[in-house]
Amino acid sequence: MPKSKYEAIYRDLKEKIENNEFACQSLLPSEHVLVQEYNCSRNTVRRAIAQLASDGYVQTLQGKGVRNIYRPVEQTAFTIGGIESFKESSARNHKWGVTKVLQFMELTADEKISERTGFPAGTELYYIQRLHYLDGRPLIINHNYFLKSAVPGLTPEIASDSIYEYLENHLHMTIVNSQRIMTVEKITQIDEKYLEMNVNDYNCVAVVSSHTYNSDGVMFEFTQSRHRPDYFRFQDNAVRKATQKAGIL
């Protein structure tokens, strides 16, 4: 099944849901209608719907159809479960996103960097410090470490646009999964300076640390994202797994 086909359907339905073309709690068009509308197979439609369900946008109801359960939030939501660039997150939230590169350098991981990032000591890396703005307000500061051998040709200009777009569209890398830890940490001088926070009002930031892997099983990125706590909300779609009851002898 062509990945681009189901992804295009997924993105189109997702945009329609977010734009309230399908009211919350209403049913999406039937599978038959979607097959005709997108000129595709039932399996392609089902895969797109399954992705929407996994992201928490819809719920499949046996014998009834697919219900829209998406509820927009007032604050910008950055998903924990999915992997998306800042550029993609900004577009999804209908915000004007701008990225400013504060530092861009090549370095070799020492023991301290190795302990922090998970890259072995001696690994050649790109270190990039970026400040992300939404609608003109600085809200995220990213500390990115990229495996140099996995991202040849990386430049500050690419970093100011979308690194993931460069990896996928130009280097044809397949980004597979990201292991993440979310913490709340004391504000640093860098946070206070660039995020324009008053330490008397907010003395902490939300921090998401990510180890990201490609389809070859290579960890090509470690990123620590530090977020202003007064604006961002993180959302995920939690699914309860069925438990297996112990048999009674």
Closest CA to 106 of 124, 85, 94: 124
- The amino acid occupying position 73 is V
Architecture of domain 3-68: Orthogonal Bundle (1.10)
Here the tokens at position 47 are: 């895969």
Per-residue pLDDT of the chain in tens (249 residues, 90 and over written 9): 445 788 899 989 988 988 889 888 899 999 999 999 999 999 999 999 998 988 888 999 888 899 998 876 555 556 665 667 777 777 766 778 899 999 999 999 999 999 999 999 999 999 999 999 988 889 999 999 999 999 999 999 999 999 999 999 999 999 998 899 999 999 888 998 899 877 667 789 999 999 999 999 999 999 999 998 887 777 776 667 666 555 555
Domain residue ranges in the chain: 3-68, 76-233
Supply angle C-alpha 155, 158, 162, rounded to 5: 145
Rounded Cα distance, 155 and 177, in Å? 24
CATH number of the 76-233 domain: 3.40.1410.10
